[in-house]
Amino acid sequence: MSTPRPRVIRFPRADLAEQLEAFACRWPQARADRRGLVFQGEPGARLRVPLTAPRVQPGESVAAYAARLPGPSERQLLLLLQAGAMAIGWWDGDELVQHKAVRRYVVRGSGRAQPLHSKTRGKSRYGSRLRLQNWKRLLVETNQRLRTWYEQFGAPERLFVSVPVRAFADLLAAEPPPPFGRDDACLQRVPMHVHRPDFAELQRVHRWLASGRLELPG
């Protein structure tokens, strides 16, 4: 006999306190996992808080976390970067304060990003050089914009990034460098598939980060 699938409910951050209260009433002994991402009730009962909500301490009880809400407003930066496209947004709590999206020609006709292609195929022709130059310009423009926002608003408490591994290495090596390092304590990878960055995708990803997930036994 197959195990019933859990019932899944997604909810906005605005409903987090209500969801926590209901979860705590049903499973008062629920505690966060060791990564501080999910409260576990009985088998099949899980509550994942929105990633933009105050951080959960590993092993924290659901009641103790609920008592800390709503918590202070946090500055949040979301960076989406792929070959030829960048989108960044700065939020103060739930308010989008600044955003910027840029696209440049750096993808070959086959769909492969020029920086990756050049590392595997040797010397490039004029079109390839142009794509590489545009990629470098995009990295510089991204870092300059980030540094300006850090100077204007101060360092964010939360930094969410969706950048391929090789592109992230290029971003860190660019001049000027970004205002954060690879091991920055506030840096957190976006755990979802991201489409080509633009303003609409920036908003979609942030809405996902600002939503929670409740799983109930089937």
Are residues 48 and 84 located together in one domain of the fold?
no
Are residues 137 and 65 located together in one domain of the fold?
no
Q: Report the distance separating Cα 104 and Cα 160, nearest Å.
A: 22
Res 120: pLDDT:
44
Per DSSP, 56 falls in state P
Are residues 24 and 55 located together in one domain of the fold?
yes
Are residues 26 and 128 located together in one domain of the fold?
no
Are residues 84 and 21 located together in one domain of the fold?
no
Are residues 60 and 85 located together in one domain of the fold?
no
2 in a structural domain? no
Q: Which domain holds residue 130?
A: 75-204
User: Which CATH number covers residue 125?
Assistant: 3.30.420.60
Res 110: pLDDT:
46
Q: Name the burial class of residue 25, with classes exposed (0-12), middle (13-18) and buried (19+) by CB atoms within 10 angstroms of its CB.
A: exposed
Q: What is the pLDDT along the chain (218 residues), one digit of tens a residue?
A: 566 677 999 999 999 999 999 999 999 999 999 999 999 998 889 999 999 999 999 999 999 999 999 988 899 999 999 988 999 999 999 999 999 999 987 765 445 554 544 454 545 566 677 788 889 999 999 999 999 999 999 999 999 999 999 999 999 999 999 999 999 999 999 999 999 999 999 999 999 999 999 999 87
1 in a structural domain? no
Res 108: pLDDT:
59
Are residues 121 and 67 located together in one domain of the fold?
no
Res 124: pLDDT:
53
Res 52: pLDDT:
95
The answer for residues whose C-beta is within 8 angstroms of residue 50's C-beta and 6 or more apart is 12, 13, 16, 209, 210, 211, 212
Neighbours of 56 (CB within 10 A): 21
Are residues 114 and 29 located together in one domain of the fold?
no
Are residues 179 and 200 located together in one domain of the fold?
yes
Are residues 36 and 123 located together in one domain of the fold?
no
109 in a structural domain? yes
Are residues 134 and 99 located together in one domain of the fold?
yes
42 in a structural domain? yes
56 in a structural domain? yes
Are residues 46 and 57 located together in one domain of the fold?
yes
Res 127: pLDDT:
63
18 in a structural domain? yes
Task: Give pTM, 2 decimals.
Answer: 0.85
Total domain count, the chain: 2
